[in-house]
Chain A
Amino acid sequence: MPIDTNLARAPANAAHWERRARLLAAEINAGWWLSSWLPTALVIGIAGTFALLWARWQAVELVPFAWGAIGVALVLAGVAAWFTSRPRFESVASARVLLEERLGLHARLSSAAAGVGDWPGRRIDLDGRWPVRIRATRPALLLTLVGAMLAAAMAIPVADAGAFRRRAIEAPADAEIVSQWIDELQREKAIDERSAGAVNERIEEILERPRDAWYEHATLEAAGTLREQTAAELAALARNLAAAEQAAADLAAAPSRAASAEKHRDSQALAAAARQLALGGMRPAGDAGEKLGQEAAEALADLSPEQLRELAAALRANRSKLKAALAKAANFDLDALGPESDCEACQPCGVCKECREGKPCKKGACAACKKAGRGGITRGPGEAAMKAGVEEDLGATRRELVTAPTDVARSAAGELLDVVDAEHAVDESTYVGPQAGGSIAPTADGGGPSRVDNLLPREQDAVRRFFK
C-alpha cells in the first residue's frame, strides 16, 4: 500500500541540500562532459598542431585563421561532447542518492525530497565526505599535452614556403640574363623578332626540364653556353653593323671613284658585312634590316650615294639601339661590341686623306678605334705560317694552345725559327662568327665546324640513350 507523500513537512533545509545535490550532479556531469570532450580535444590538438605548422610554412598571415579554426573546433567538439554525454548525465535525484549514502543519511534526503520527513540539519560535516573526488591527473596531462603541442607548433622554426617556392622556381642565372638581354633588345627593337624568338625558344627548352634538374651541371652548362653564344652573336652583330656602316659610308663618300680599286674593296666589304648580317644568329631589326633585306649583298654597292647614306644611318641607329639596350641589361660586357664610330675621343686630324675626303679620321682615332679587326677583317680561319700554337675559336673567345716548346733556353734554333716563303691564305668568305650549338654553319675552304662543343639537354639525353 503506498505511503501518502502529500504531507510534506516544511523543508527548512531543503534549499541547502538541494543546492548540494545540484552541485554534485554538475560536478559529475562535468566529468562526463570532460571524458567525452578530452579525446576529441586531443585529436583537435594534434590536427591543430599540423595546421599551425602548415600555416606558418605556407604564410604567416594564415596563423590567426588556424588559431581561430582550432578554437571553433574545440568549441564545436565541446557542444558535441555535451550532446553525446548527456544520456549519462546525473540527475539531481541520483546525485541525492550518492550524497545521502556517502553521508550515512539513511535515504533521508530522498524521503524528504518525496515529502516524507524533515530534511537533515545543515550542520552535517561535509569535509572529506564529499561523494566524489576529482582525478585531475589524466585530464590535466591531456590538456597539457595539447597545449604543449600547440605551443611547440608556434615555437618550432619553420621555413617560409613562399621563399622556398621562389627559390625553387628561380631559373639558372645565365638563362635569366639572356632572357633579360632579349627583352631589352626587343623593347629597343634592336634585333628582329625571329632572332629573339630563336633565343627564347632555346631558353624555354632549358627551362622545360624539371625544376630539380635546373641546377644540374648539364643545364647550367647549356645555359652558360647559350649566354656565351648569345653574347658572341650580339658582338658579331655589332661588328657587322659597324663594318657595314663603315663600308656604306665609304661608298657614299666616294661616288666619283666608281671604278677604282678602293671602291671595289669597299663594295666587297659591304657585301661581306651584309652577308654576315643575314647569316648571323642575330639579325638587325627596323630600317637596317629592311634595307639590307631588300637588296642582294652584291647589289648594295650599286645603290645611290643617298641610299648608301640612309643605309649607313640606319645601320648606325640599329647599332646604337643595340648598345643602348645592352647597356640597360645587366651582365653584358659592352666592350665586346667594339668602339663607337662616333667616339668622342676620335677627333679628325684635318690633314689625312680620310679627313680631306670627309671620311672618319683614322689618324685621330682613339686607341680603341685603332684596334685590329676594326673593319670586320680578321686573320680568320685557315693556315698561317709561323704559328706557335693552334688557335681555337670558342665562339665568344679565342684560345690559342701553344704547341711550341715554352722553354726557349732549351729549344733548338730550328724549333723556334722557321723561314717559310708563303702567304697567309685567308679565306675571307668563311663565316667566323659564333656558331649556334648543333646548327650547321656554311662550309667553306677554311673549314666550318665539324663538331659541337656543347649539347643542349635534350641532345645530351639523346646521346645518353644512344650509348645506353
Chain B
Amino acid sequence: MNPPALLPLDDAQARHAAEAIGRLRRVLQGVLFGQHDLIDLVIVGVLARGHVLLEGLPGLGKTELVKGLARALDLKHKRVQFTPDLLPGDITGNPVLEEVDGRRSFTFQPGPVFANILLADEINRASPKTQSALLEAMQERSVTVMGQTHALPNPFLVLATQNPIELEGTYPLPEAQLDRFLFKIDVPAASVETLERIVLEREIGIPPEVPCVIDAHALTALQDAVRRVYMPPPVANFIARLVAATAPTNPLAAGVRYGASPRAALALSAAARARGLCQGRINASYEDVRDVALPVLRHRLVLDYGARLEGLTPDGIVARLLDAVPAHDKPLPTSLKAAKV
C-alpha cells in the first residue's frame, strides 16, 4: 500500500519557513563569523535530517558552531571526544546493575548518543568497533543494548569532526559509515577580516550569547516541510544522471574506483529540497542540486591509486562532473548553440 501523498507547499508556507530559517542563519552567523557557506550547509543538513561530517583544522569553530546550533534550536546536545580507548558503551550507554525493592536488575543507563545533537569530536580517533556503534544510531535513530532497542530523541543529528592532520593512530572511517553522513564539509580557514572580527568581538572562555530562534517542535515542522518540497522530474533526472556519472565506467569519472551509491542520490534529493526551502521555494531546482553536490558526493567517491598519485581529488572530479552533466540532457544540433546559463 502506497503511503498517502503529501500536500505540496504553497508559496506562503515556503516563505514562512524561509523566514524562520533565515533567523537561524543570522544567529549562527553571529556565532561563527565569516563561514556563511558552512552555516548554510549545516542548516541544510539539519533540515534534511542528515548527519554532517566536518573536516578541518582545530580551532576553526566547529565545536562552537554545534553548540550555537543546539542553543539556537533549544535542543539537547552532547559532546564526545573520540579516543582510541573509547568503548561503544561509552557512546550508546551501558546496563547498570541496580537494586530496586530488594531485587537486582540491569537498568539501561543512556549514553551521550541520547541527545538531539551529538558532537562526535575527532571521530576518526576511535576504534572501528566504537565507530560502528554509531552506525545503528545514525541510520536507525535507535540503539540496541542487551537485546533492547532504545529510540533516540527526535530530532537526532550527529555532527562529527575529524582532523586532517596528525593521522598517526587514527582509524579512517570505513566507506559504509561515511556513506551515512549526508554531508562532508571542509571547514575553511578564516579570512583576515573574519579573524579581525573575532579578535574584536570575542574573548576566550566567554561563549557568545545565542538566543533560541526555533524550538524542537518548529524544527520538526521545518523538517516535515522539506519533505513537502516538490522534486520536479527533470531535477530528479539531473540527480540520477549526476550520480550515474560517478560510476567508474563513465569516462567523466576517470580515476574513480567506486562511485556514489543510490543513497547518495537520496541524499542529493533531500539536501536539494532543504536548500530549496531555505530559499523560500516550493520545489527543488537544478541550482540546489549543484550547490549541494560537492558536500554530498565528495566522501562517497573512492579514488584509485593512480588517481591519487596524479593528485586528483574527489572535489575535482565532482566539479568536473558538474561541468559535464547539464540539466538539459539532450544534445543540441550543430546549427544551434546553447546560450550560457
Interface on A for B, CB 8 Å cutoff?
A: 1-5, 7, 27-28, 31-32, 34-35, 88, 90, 93-94, 96-98, 101-102, 104, 106-108, 110-111, 114, 116-118, 129-136, 138-139
The 7 A-B residue pairs whose C-beta atoms are closest, nearest first, are A31-B333, A4-B5, A106-B285, A110-B232, A111-B283, A107-B285, A116-B230
Chain B 282-294 interface mask (CB, 8 Å, partner A; 1/0): 1111111000000
Q: Whole-angstrom distance from the CB of A361 to the nearest CB of chain B?
A: 103
Complex-state Cα separation, A123 to B10, whole angstroms: 22
27 A-B residue pairs with Cβ-Cβ distance under 8 Å, sorted by A, are: A3-B228, A3-B230, A5-B230, A31-B335, A31-B336, A90-B330, A94-B234, A94-B329, A94-B330, A96-B234, A102-B339, A102-B341, A106-B279, A106-B281, A106-B287, A107-B232, A107-B235, A108-B283, A108-B285, A110-B235, A111-B230, A116-B230, A129-B339, A130-B339, A132-B337, A133-B336, A133-B339
Is B309 positioned at the interface, with any CB of A under 8 Å from its CB? Answer: no
Residues of B255-303 whose CB lies within 8 A of A? 276, 279, 281-288
Given contacts A28-B333, A107-B235, A135-B334, is CB(A94)–CB(B283) below 8 Å?
no
Q: Which residues of B contact A90 (CB under 8 A)?
A: 330
Q: Which residues of A contact B3 (CB under 8 A)?
A: 1
Q: Whole-angstrom distance from the CB of A433 to the nearest CB of chain B?
A: 86
Complex-state Cα separation, A94 to B238, whole angstroms: 12
Complex-state Cα separation, A135 to B335, whole angstroms: 5
Q: Whole-angstrom distance from the CB of B238 to the nearest CB of chain A?
A: 9
Complex-state Cα separation, A111 to B232, whole angstroms: 6
Contacting pair B335 A4 (CB below 8 A): no
Complex-state Cα separation, A346 to B4, whole angstroms: 137
Q: Whole-angstrom distance from the CB of B45 to the nearest CB of chain A?
A: 20
Of residues B7, B327, B336, which shows the largest number of chain A Cβ atoms within 10 Å of its Cβ? B336
Complex-state Cα separation, A4 to B2, whole angstroms: 12
Is B227 positioned at the interface, with any CB of A under 8 Å from its CB? Answer: yes
Is B231 positioned at the interface, with any CB of A under 8 Å from its CB? Answer: yes
Is B332 positioned at the interface, with any CB of A under 8 Å from its CB? Answer: yes
Q: Whole-angstrom distance from the CB of A165 to the nearest CB of chain B?
A: 46
Q: Which residues of A contact B331 (CB under 8 A)?
A: 88
Contacting pair A98 B5 (CB below 8 A): no
Contacting pair B282 A111 (CB below 8 A): yes
B5: contacting residue among A1, A35, A102, A118, CB under 8 A: A1
* Contacts A117-B8, A132-B339 supplied; 13 other A-B pairs, CB < 8 Å: A5-B230, A32-B333, A88-B330, A94-B328, A94-B329, A106-B283, A108-B281, A116-B8, A132-B332, A135-B334, A135-B336, A138-B334, A138-B335
Complex-state Cα separation, A139 to B285, whole angstroms: 35
A117: contacting residue among B282, B327, B333, B339, CB under 8 A: B282
Contacting pair B335 A139 (CB below 8 A): yes
Complex-state Cα separation, A4 to B8, whole angstroms: 6
Given contacts A1-B5, A107-B232, A110-B232, is CB(A132)–CB(B227) below 8 Å?
no
**Which chain A residue lies CB-closest to B340?**
A102
A4: contacting residue among B6, B11, B283, B333, CB under 8 A: B6
Is B205 positioned at the interface, with any CB of A under 8 Å from its CB? Answer: no
Q: Which residues of A contact B279 (CB under 8 A)?
A: 106
Q: Which residues of A contact B233 (CB under 8 A)?
A: 110, 114
Contacting pair A31 B332 (CB below 8 A): yes
Chain B 1-31 interface mask (CB, 8 Å, partner A; 1/0): 0111111101100000000000000000000
**Which chain B residue lies CB-closest to A5?**
B8
Q: Whole-angstrom distance from the CB of B274 to the nearest CB of chain A?
A: 14
Q: Whole-angstrom distance from the CB of A107 to the nearest CB of chain B?
A: 4
Q: Whole-angstrom distance from the CB of A85 to the nearest CB of chain B?
A: 8
Is B338 positioned at the interface, with any CB of A under 8 Å from its CB? Answer: yes
**Which chain A residue lies CB-closest to B232?**
A110
Q: Whole-angstrom distance from the CB of A256 to the nearest CB of chain B?
A: 115
Q: Which residues of A contact B284 (CB under 8 A)?
A: 107
Complex-state Cα separation, A108 to B11, whole angstroms: 12
Complex-state Cα separation, A154 to B339, whole angstroms: 41
Given contacts A1-B227, A101-B341, is CB(A114)–CB(B232) below 8 Å?
yes
Contacting pair B282 A133 (CB below 8 A): no
Q: Which residues of B contact A93 (CB under 8 A)?
A: 234
Complex-state Cα separation, A130 to B336, whole angstroms: 12
Complex-state Cα separation, A7 to B333, whole angstroms: 37
Contacting pair B282 A116 (CB below 8 A): yes
Contacting pair A3 B8 (CB below 8 A): yes
**Which chain B residue lies CB-closest to A118?**
B11
**Which chain B residue lies CB-closest to A114?**
B232
**Which chain B residue lies CB-closest to A133?**
B337
Complex-state Cα separation, A27 to B285, whole angstroms: 25
Q: Which residues of A contact B330 (CB under 8 A)?
A: 88, 90, 94
Q: Which residues of B contact A134 (CB under 8 A)?
A: 335-337
Q: Whole-angstrom distance from the CB of A246 to the nearest CB of chain B?
A: 97
Complex-state Cα separation, A319 to B332, whole angstroms: 93
Q: Whole-angstrom distance from the CB of A363 to the nearest CB of chain B?
A: 105
Of residues B5, B283, B329, which shows the largest number of chain A Cβ atoms within 10 Å of its Cβ? B283
Residues of B156-177 whose CB lies within 8 A of A? none
Q: Whole-angstrom distance from the CB of A136 to the nearest CB of chain B?
A: 8
Complex-state Cα separation, A231 to B115, whole angstroms: 135
Q: Whole-angstrom distance from the CB of B148 to the nearest CB of chain A?
A: 30
Complex-state Cα separation, A4 to B227, whole angstroms: 12
Contacting pair B335 A35 (CB below 8 A): yes
Q: Whole-angstrom distance from the CB of A10 to the nearest CB of chain B?
A: 13
Complex-state Cα separation, A107 to B231, whole angstroms: 9
Contacting pair A110 B334 (CB below 8 A): no
Complex-state Cα separation, A130 to B339, whole angstroms: 7
**Which chain B residue lies CB-closest to A129?**
B339
Contacting pair B5 A2 (CB below 8 A): yes
Contacting pair A101 B232 (CB below 8 A): no
Contacting pair B336 A7 (CB below 8 A): no
**Which chain B residue lies CB-closest to A90?**
B330
Complex-state Cα separation, A136 to B285, whole angstroms: 32
Complex-state Cα separation, A132 to B340, whole angstroms: 9
Q: Which residues of A contact B341 (CB under 8 A)?
A: 101-102, 104
Q: Whole-angstrom distance from the CB of A108 to the nearest CB of chain B?
A: 7
**Which chain B residue lies CB-closest to A139?**
B335
Residues of B177-201 whose CB lies within 8 A of A? none
Of residues B4, B281, B288, B330, which shows the largest number of chain A Cβ atoms within 10 Å of its Cβ? B330
Contacting pair A116 B336 (CB below 8 A): no
Q: Which residues of B contact A96 (CB under 8 A)?
A: 234
Complex-state Cα separation, A101 to B327, whole angstroms: 8
Given contacts A35-B333, A107-B235, is CB(A132)–CB(B230) below 8 Å?
no
Complex-state Cα separation, A27 to B337, whole angstroms: 11
Of residues B6, B232, B233, B276, which shows the largest number of chain A Cβ atoms within 10 Å of its Cβ? B232
Q: Whole-angstrom distance from the CB of B235 to the nearest CB of chain A?
A: 5
Q: Whole-angstrom distance from the CB of B239 to the nearest CB of chain A?
A: 12
Contacting pair B7 A4 (CB below 8 A): yes
Of residues B5, B286, B328, B333, which shows the largest number of chain A Cβ atoms within 10 Å of its Cβ? B333
Q: Which residues of A contact B339 (CB under 8 A)?
A: 102, 129-133
Contacting pair A7 B7 (CB below 8 A): yes
**Which chain B residue lies CB-closest to A115?**
B8
Contacting pair A97 B328 (CB below 8 A): yes
**Which chain A residue lies CB-closest to B338?**
A132
Q: Which residues of B contact A118 (CB under 8 A)?
A: 11
**Which chain B residue lies CB-closest to A93?**
B234
